Amino acid sequence: MTKTAAGSSAAAQPKAWSVLIASTFAFTVCFMVWMMFGVIGIPIRQSLHLNETEFGMLAALPVLTGSLVRVPLGIWTDRYGGRVVMACLMLATVPAIWLMSYATTYWQFLVIGLFVGLAGGAFSVGTPYVARWFPQERRGFAMGIFGAGNSGAAVNKFVAPAILVAFGWGMVAKTYAVAMLAAVALFWLFTAIDPSHRVPNNQRFVDQLKALKDPRVLKYCQYYSIVFGGYVGLSLWMVQYYVGEYGLDIRVAALLAACFSLPGGVLRAVGGWLSDRYGAHCVTWWVMWVSWICLFLLSYPQTVFTIATVDGPKVFHLGLNVVWFTVLMFVLGIAFAFGKASTFKYIGDDFPHNIGAISGIVGLAGGLGGFALPILFGLLVDLTGIRSSAFMLLYGVVWVSLIWMYLTEVRRTNVMRPGATAAAGIASGQAPTQASNQPSSQAGTPS
């Protein structure tokens, strides 16, 4: 590196960190707004007498909009710059957030929720905007820090219940509108524009969808639909789950639900570091197994059964109490945080020259998962009357991911057991080849 280039890089470093911190704060506020129905939806549901499915639709509809706009927002970021696009996006949500406090009917909440959901598109703007301020070797870490803005889901669970109990849910919407305006001002003040970061992008959305012909892209969509879609879906669902299942006050329920949302957001950067060190496959494989175990235990419904004994009938209760339920949700949140990072590590490794298009498609799939899951949760509860059916559904989705990963990666490459080939040769009486005596260069990396 020349002295001039080195001096320019050093001069740009403080500005890069300023952009990263301001963008992460803005994304945290956007995610907080995106998840607002997870808390205020509970009193709205009670006042409108909504069933579980209708509540799921109310909570999930903003997620749909935030998912569908991700790809065009990514294209506009390449073309016009992240600072302008992010500021315009945030400003566009303010009127809808404010108007939410005046809605009185179910259809009004649904329509306004569609516009509030635009805030969820901030991820597709901030990720490329932040990444281009850092050198290649530090971009993964920078994007991991920005992605920790997912913790806005936990911030919502701390802030909204306090305002709701004191002033009513309408004041929550007004407060969030003011917070969004303040976030726009701070974002604009502490960020900058670099014309060299703009990349001409004439690719159409239809052209990007052609990437779905690659089976790897479909597989990563499946992974992200559970680690991100499951995170969003459960973040929206957990407060009312605690209230309904354990009869808790909404403030206590929101605090316990944050035990899932908070690690699921802030630990994403740690997941990125682990994926860089051990490989996307290794991290994702363990994420799926940990999720599978947690969801298996969470799926078991509260059960009371009677056994006839020689001393008469005895009644037993089987089910998770609130403490163990929260512990399992905490572990699941950590697993999902690592999985979100490892999925994008896959994309960076396998599609280095097409990362924008592929990440847009995978992000869209994850967002659509977050939209569909709360609706399916509500539908399952209405049909079965079992609240833990939500975890049964996620358990099945994780099973699909594990089987798919085993068939396409583990069985084919023996990533988890790099010495398996040599051992098999010795067991069969064959001398190991030179290649089998060498450490596998693929250990811990995706195929």
Interval 15-61: pLDDT, tens: 889 999 999 999 999 999 999 998 999 999 999 999 989 999 998 89
d(CA 253, CA 158) in angstroms, rounded, equals 10
Residue 277: per-residue pLDDT: 83
382 within some domain: yes
CA distances from 270 to 137, 223, 264 (A): 16, 18, 11
Other residues' Cβ atoms within 10 Å of the Cβ of residue 319: 13
d(CA 341, CA 353) in angstroms, rounded, equals 19
433 within some domain: no
d(CA 391, CA 389) in angstroms, rounded, equals 5
Q: How many domains does the chain have?
A: 1
Q: Which domain holds residue 180?
A: 14-193+210-416
Look up residue 278 and give its two tokens: 């051990």
User: Which amino acid is residue 325, in one-letter code?
Assistant: F
Residue 386: per-residue pLDDT: 92
Residue 217: per-residue pLDDT: 85
CB–CB of 34/119 below 8 Å? yes
Beta bridge partners of 304: 317
Residue 213: strand, helix, or coil: helix
Residue 317: per-residue pLDDT: 85
DSSP-derived letter for residue 120 is: G
Residue 429: per-residue pLDDT: 42
271 within some domain: yes
DSSP-derived letter for residue 431 is: P
d(CA 45, CA 25) in angstroms, rounded, equals 30
114 within some domain: yes
Note the Cα 259 to chain centre separation in Å.
Answer: 15
DSSP-derived letter for residue 117 is: G
Other residues' Cβ atoms within 10 Å of the Cβ of residue 40: 27
Residue 109: per-residue pLDDT: 94
CB–CB of 132/261 below 8 Å? no
Sign of CA dihedral 394, 64, 357, 76: negative
CB–CB of 364/63 below 8 Å? no
Residue 361: per-residue pLDDT: 80
Gyration radius of the chain's alpha carbons: 23
CB–CB of 125/77 below 8 Å? yes
426 within some domain: no
129 within some domain: yes
CATH of the domain at 22: 1.20.1250.20
Nearest to 125 by CA among 176, 151, 89, 177: 89
Beta bridge partners of 316: 305
Q: Give the DSSP H/E element, type plus range, for residue 308.
A: strand 303-309
Which segments of 35-81 does DSSP mark as H helices, in order? 37-48, 52-68, 70-80
198 within some domain: no
Q: Which residues of the chain have pLDDT under 50?
A: 1-11, 415-416, 418-447
Residues 6+ apart with CB under 8 A from 91: 181, 184
329 within some domain: yes
